Amino acid sequence: MFTVTVEKECGCFRKSGIENNKKFESKDDALIAAMNMAKEMNLEFCQKHEFDVVESDAGLSIKVDERAKSGCCGGGHCS
C-alpha cells in the first residue's frame, strides 16, 4: 500500500476537496496520482505556493513551498 501525502494543507487545498493521505495499491498508481495532483494544484490554486512531488522511504509526498517572485513588472524591459 502506498500513500500520497500533502505535507502542508494551505487554504486552497482545504477548499479544493482533494483528498490528503490517499492510499494506492501500487507505487505506479500513487506516483501518477501525485503528479496529477501537483499539476492541478500548481495550475488551479492561487499561485502563492508551488507544489512538487517528493519520493521517500515513507512514500510519496507533495511538498509545498512559497512561490518565488521574479521581481519583474512585466513591462518587457527587464530582459
Give the C-alpha separation, 42 to 65, whole Å: 11
The residue among 43 and 73 whose pLDDT is bigger is 43
Q: Report the Cα 57 to chain-centroid distance in Å.
A: 19
> Which pTM was predicted?
0.80
Write down the residue that cell numbers 505535507 correspond to.
Answer: 7
> What integer is the mean pLDDT of 1-8?
93
What is the per-residue pLDDT for 73? 58
What is the per-residue pLDDT for 59? 86
> What integer is the mean pLDDT of 10-28?
94
